[in-house]
Structure 1
């Protein structure tokens, strides 16, 4: 696998990859910058939840490859597996906890 292949997989071309990058970026920034309006813990819970949910969706979206006589067909499908569903459940739980914490405040 070449380095250009790795970079090609990092393109933000789907919504779940945007969730991963946005959640990871906000999570990293929240460790060093004080948030206004909500606590940093609430922001970290929310961004970690978005990050984990995005990773879970990324894991559950596979690329199906079919070999036909004259062509190679590739198209994405959503095929959940155990680890992807666990990551989505962790992300959803963290998002719900953060929203509940924000509303409770």
Structure 2
């Protein structure tokens, strides 16, 4: 949901996303709970001003991996089509005039 310039997510949606990341790397539910409780414990012990600056390195790695997997297919297609376009332009007299 958009709120002015911010994008807001429901907690249920974020929890299901995090669960899907854990399941993707075959982490058991007990290990998931341990990791989440450890992270929540670290957050509760911090001052409110510093909480926004913290990030979970494990979640960052999993999210980056998922984004790379989704973007790699599109990136290869764009690179392939771009290469075909460059090859096409290299054989046209229009490029020779530049």
TM-score, structure 1 length as denominator? 0.29
More helix by share: 2
TM-score, structure 2 length as denominator? 0.30
Higher relative contact order (CA 8 A, sep 6+): 1
Q: Determine which structure has more spread, i.e. the larger CA radius of gyration.
A: 2
More strand by share: 1
